[in-house]
Each structure stands twice: as C-alpha cells, then as structure tokens.
C-alpha cells in the first residue's frame, strides 16, 4: 500500500531520531524497541485510502509504526510489535512509572510502558 520509497525515507528519518536519543543515553541502554499495534482495515490502493479521512490517518499510523520498527532494526536493536489487546494491566508498575515520568501520562504513554514491560519480560535473561 505504501510505496517503498516513502517507507525507506521514513525509516531513515526515524533511525536518525533514534540514534540521537541513543547518543544521550548510557551505552547499551536500549536493548529493544516495542511498538503497540492494532489491526486496522485499510484499503491496499492509495487512491482508495484517499477517499476516507479516517483511512488516511490509519495508513499514516501504519507507516509510522513500520518506520519505527525498521529504524530500530537499522540501529541494531531488537524490534517488537505488541498487539494492543494483549497489553498487560501491570497497574502498580505503570502507576509508578507515571509518577516518575510526570505529565503527560495518557493512555498512549501507559500503553508504551505496558509494551516495554511485555518486551522486557519476553527478552529478560533468565540467569
């Protein structure tokens, strides 16, 4: 649906942003990147997408998520998707993270924290 040129361009921009973030963090501070996904029906053909404002936003979201995942891989990090319906509640941890992070602490930030918790639990070294 999204031309390869645009996917590549977005991934390059996202990779530059992720590298800039990594430059200010301690070495190896980023073991993986998690992106929350949700199944969204979007037409395959761009002209069909352009017929609906909602589909345009849905396609934009898909492009952004794909770009973040590609950028993470380009940076050498593990890239994971976490289905939004499978996010754990993890309420005590999410509440504690929200207090430490401060505002804004909306659903988007909470879902990102839940996705990180999910990926960390899946990739934790059992030793």
Looking at residue 34, what is its pLDDT?
93
**Alpha carbons 67 and 71: distance in angstroms, whole number:** 6
Looking at residue 11, what is its pLDDT?
66
User: Do the beta carbons of residue 74 and residue 67 sit within 8 Å?
Assistant: no
Looking at residue 127, what is its pLDDT?
55
SS3 34: strand
**Alpha carbons 110 and 98: distance in angstroms, whole number:** 8
Looking at residue 62, what is its pLDDT?
87
Q: Can you give the residue range of the structural domain that contains 68?
A: 4-123
Per-residue pLDDT of the chain (127 residues; tens, 9 = 90+): 555 656 666 667 777 877 787 788 776 778 889 999 988 888 888 889 899 999 999 988 888 888 888 888 888 889 999 999 999 988 899 999 999 999 999 999 999 999 999 998 887 665 5
Residue 34: exposed, middle, or buried by beta-carbon count in 10 A (0-12, 13-18, 19+)?
buried
The number of folded domains in the chain is 1
**Alpha carbons 82 and 38: distance in angstroms, whole number:** 9
């Amino acid at each position: 649906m999204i031309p390869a040129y645009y996917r590549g361009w977005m991934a390059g921009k996202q990779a530059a942003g992720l590298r800039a973030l990594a430059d200010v963090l301690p070495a190896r501070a980023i073991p993986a990147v998690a992106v929350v996904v949700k199944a969204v029906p979007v037409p395959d053909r761009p002209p069909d997408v352009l017929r609906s404002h909602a589909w345009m936003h849905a396609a934009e979201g898909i492009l952004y998520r794909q770009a973040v995942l590609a950028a993470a891989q380009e940076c050498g990090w593990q890239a994971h998707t976490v289905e939004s319906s499978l996010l754990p509640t993890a309420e005590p941890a999410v509440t504690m993270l929200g207090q430490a992070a401060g505002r804004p602490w909306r659903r988007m930030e909470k879902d990102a924290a839940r996705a990180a918790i999910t990926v960390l639990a899946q990739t934790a070294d059992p030793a």
